[in-house]
Amino acid sequence: MVEEEVRKVVTTGRSSVAITIPKRWLTALGIGPGSHVLLRFMGNYIALAPHGWRREGLGW
């Protein structure tokens, strides 16, 4: 299943920005407040996964 949402980027400091992510998406991934996540810059998009998650064949 693929879902999409448009979100606004907001400034949080001098060198950081933030976006909000739908809670249902995070819940589905087992991510909650205080969780660590892996962010991967993929050239033309950014991927997010729970820390420690690996997917063979996708270069993670």
Looking at residue 54, its pLDDT comes to 67
pLDDT at 20: 95
Instruction: Give me 47's structure tokens.
Output: 């991927």
Q: Residue 48 class from Cβ within 10 Å (0-12 exposed, 13-18 middle, 19+ buried)? A: middle
The answer, yes or no, to whether residue 58 has pLDDT greater than 90, is no
Quote the pLDDT of residue 1.
Answer: 79
- pLDDT tens for 10-54 read 999 999 999 999 999 999 999 999 999 999 999 999 999 998 876
**Does this model's pTM top 0.85?**
no
